[in-house]
Every structure is written in C-alpha cells, then in structure tokens.
Structure 1
Amino acid sequence: MTIPPPDAAAQGWDDLLRAGTGPVQRSFLDLVRTTREYVGYSPELVSGLLQTPEYAAAVLRLVVDFYGIPDDIEAGVAARTARAQYIGQEGRSFHILLGEQALYTEFGAPEVMRGQLHRLLEATDLPGLTLGIIPARARLLVHPGGGFSIFDYSRVEVEGYRGAETITNQDRLALFRKAFVLLRSSAVYGQAARDLIESALATT
C-alpha cells in the first residue's frame, strides 16, 4: 500500500494512483521532507521509511497488480526509498513501531527478506531513529488496529484497500497519539529488538 500526502489527498487517491506508483510516492516523499517529527506504526510489513529497494519493489508489485495501474515500479521504488535520507537529518526525529509479524510477512523471495532484515539490524543504530518492535506475545494495552503515520503531531494518514484517509481533526488526532503511546509501551528496543530481528533472520 501507499499513502497519499497533502497534494495527493486533495487530488484524490484514485486520480493519483491511476497514474502509477511514482506520483504517489513522490508526493509522499515531499511530505516526509517537510516533517520534523514522525511517528508510525506498521503491524504487518516493514515501514516504507526502512524498506530496501528489493522489498519495496515486491510491495509495490502487489499494489500495481491489485489496482491494475501502470507498471512504473522503478519510479515508485526510487521515491519510496529516498525517504530514508531524512532520518536524523537537521534534527528530524523518527519513531517507528513494527509488529513482530512484519519480520515474517514475506514479500519477494527469501533473499529479499534476508536483505530487509539485515537493513533493520543496521537501522537500530541510525541517529534520529527510534525503532521498536512489539513482540507477538506482548501484552497490549490497546486494540492493535491497522497501521498509521503521524506527521508533526498534526496530521495522520491511515491506509486501507479503499485508499488512505487523511485526519487533521484534533480530537481524532488525539486518539491516534494516545494509541501510539499505548502501543509503544508494549514494544522492545535496543538489543531486545535486535534479538527479535536476528531470530527472524535465522528462520528466513
């Protein structure tokens, strides 16, 4: 899945996606570029901010095939993976939560997953990035729900088959901020997170 950012939301998910993955990913890149503080939760796949080109291509292949849109995966991958350059840049902060299932949901061949898991291990040391993983058997304090991204605590993007919903209403924003805090309390960080990644790597 992809998430349409500000101009994409105004233009409409269907209109933008109809042109392929490139326009959506480039617009989303613009959103990340203007964000100073990002928090995101991705329960079943690796966050787009941390995807390898091979993993991103496998994910976008599913999008192209599902929606029957132009096959411009190369352009989509280039814009999607370019987001990572902003992690830690000029004081930006990124806090990403992954569900443990994201370490096992297979996109592409086994070597694609191995490369992606190695990338996550490297990411645990990135300045400006806080990476937490919620163990499969962790006690949750809130219903896990689906993935979401919060930009500068003023805008939320929520994904789904029908496209993406942009939320700016303060009351609804507060619910997502609260959900992230509660999910964060169930996550592990540092060496404990690396141990989970390495366990997944050992079975891939």
Structure 2
Amino acid sequence: MTTNPSSSAKQAQQALGVRLRDLRKDAGLTARTLAEQTGQHFTRVSKIENGVQSPTDDDIRGWCRACSADDQVEDLIATLRAVESAYLEFRRQSRAGMKRVLGAHTLKRYEQTKVFRIYEHNVIPGLFQTAEYSAAMLSFWIKFLAVPNDVEEAVAVRTERQQVLYRGGHRFVALIEEQALRTWFGTAETQAGQLGRLLELMSLPNVSIGIIPLMTERLAVGSTGFWIFDDDLVVLETPTASIEVAQPQEVDLYARMFEALKAAAVYGRDARTLIVAVLNELS
C-alpha cells in the first residue's frame, strides 16, 4: 500500500474502472451499447473504465441497471467514496495544530456510532487515554510533524470525545496487545496512571477490554491498529495519514480479522492480572 495520497486515489480509481468494465463485459455489452443505454458518449465510458475519469453515483446506478447488476450498486458507490477521499493527510490537517487532526474521529461520528470495535497493538486507544498519556504521545507527533504546539487544546478535544463512554446507547469492544501495556509514552508515572485508568474502565458495563498476551498461541497477527465504527467504516492510521475504508466487503474483512484476533485475548480477572503485573514492574 502506498502512502502517497494522490497515487493511492489514482490506483483506487483505476481499480473501480476495471470492476465496471468487468460488469459490462459479463453482461455482454460493448462500450458503445452501454453508452447508448446510459445516455452518455462512448468515450466517457472508456475514460471511466481506464481510470481517467471518475464516475458519479448516477453513473454507477445507470451502469449497473444496464448490466443487470443492481446488487452491486451499494458496494460500488462505497468504493467511489473511498476514491474521492482515500486518504486524509495528517500534514495538511495539522498545519493549524494537532487539535485539527481528527480524520474520522470526530465528536459527531462518535455520537452516531453504536458499536466501536478497536484493535491497538502498541498504544492505548485514544478513548481510554489519560490526559497525561495523550499529551506525551501528542508531543512526539507535534515535534515529528513540525506543527504548531497546541497540545493542551488537542488533549481537550480528545477528552471531550471520551464523554461518549458514559452516555447510553454505545458499546466499546477493545482488543489491546500486551505490548501496548509496555510501550511508554512519557514517564513511568504516566504509564502507571494510564494502566490504572484501564483497570477503572474495565468496570464499565458497556466496555469490554481484552488483552492479547505476549508469547501466546494465536490465530492471527494484526499488522496495524484499526477501528471499526458499527459495520460502516474502518479507520487506520499511519505516520502520515488516516486511511478510511468504507467498501462493505473490506469492512467485513476487518471484522473477520477482529474476531480472529479476539480468539487469543484474555478478559476479566486474567486481563486484570496482566495489567497489574505490568504495574508492579513499573513500581
């Protein structure tokens, strides 16, 4: 996967064109016939199929109707959305400070989401972070990206989002690798405070926190952290961009990966024992 946003979007547009061309061919239609049935010039059909021009929602609906493939409309439109905004660049967003680096992690998105499925392999999920832990992590990114130092405002934005934990109608299912418990952001005291916060959150009835122990047999290994918002959206973060996946088939793949990772996690007393063991090491 490329980390160049424009390149990624171009590749995604070309892939969408290939899928539309395959639909046309499977329906036994020539480009000219499809153009006639959808009321457009055949050269535009060629441009769409070759990834030169992006289709509209109506183009996709008309295309699928002509190819007797109406069942593909939802998936193809979701793919089009991914093409239109394949990446949200951190650098562009952060020019006005880290408080603007939200991607899909907006207060509105959080309020609308009923079920959060969260996997993190080397960091405590933002929803569960203490202010001190969040400030230490954000301080690194402010220096790394050379952006304005607005750490206090950025922490305040993240703290405000955490209020969703205490409102009805939301469930949080989190998987955290033991490595994240042992990866420090800030001092030992900061890490200890963060682990204590995790123990507190585990008592909330709408929060499920599973810990995946080190040196354990497992079905799957996650290559990066990811968040699943209901069954609609998956969000991943790289050092330079926030990646949003909305195509239903791909969202389903992440859901399957989440279940595979979940098989190795421990919960309840066993999870608390792991956290307390790391706390004892810190002290």
Q: Which residue of 2 aligns with 1:65?
A: 143
User: For 1:45-92, what per-residue CA distance to the aligned partner results, in whole angstroms no more than 9, with x for missing partners?
Assistant: 101010000000001011101100110000111111222211252221
Q: 1:101 to 1:64 in 2, by over 3 A?
A: same
Equivalent residue runs for 1:125-204 within 5 Å: 125-204=203-282
Instruction: Please list every run of 5 or more consecutive structure 1 residues that lacks an aligned counterpart in the other structure.
Output: 1-7
Aligned-pair RMSD on alpha carbons? 1.8
- 2:91 counterpart of 1:14: yes
Larger Rg: 2
Structure 1 residue runs of 4 or more that deviate by more than 6 Å after TM superposition: 8-11
**Which residue identity does 1:17 align to in structure 2?**
S
Q: Which residue of 1 aligns with 2:44?
A: none
**Higher helix fraction: Structure 1 or Structure 2?**
2
Q: Match of 2:105, SS?
A: helix
Work out which structure has the larger RCO, using CA pairs closer than 8 Å and 6 or more positions apart in sequence. 1
Report if the CA contact (8 A) 1:88-1:94 is conserved. no
C-alpha displacement of 1:36:
1.1
User: For 1:5-28, what per-residue CA distance to the aligned partner results, in whole angstroms no more than 9, with x for missing partners?
Assistant: xxx988653321221111224972
C-alpha displacement of 1:96:
0.7
Q: Percent identical across equivalent pairs? A: 36
Instruction: Please list every run of 5 or more consecutive structure 2 residues that lacks an aligned counterpart in the other structure.
Output: 1-84
C-alpha displacement of 1:160:
0.7
**Which residue identity does 2:100 align to in structure 1?**
P
Q: Which residue of 2 aligns with 1:28?
A: 105
Measure, in 1, the Cα distance between the counterparts of 2:206 and 2:148: 35
Report if the CA contact (8 A) 2:87-2:244 is conserved. no
Measure, in 2, the Cα distance between the counterparts of 1:167 and 1:9: 8
Q: How many residues are paired up?
A: 197
Q: Which residue of 2 aligns with 1:56?
A: 134
TM-score by length of 2: 0.66
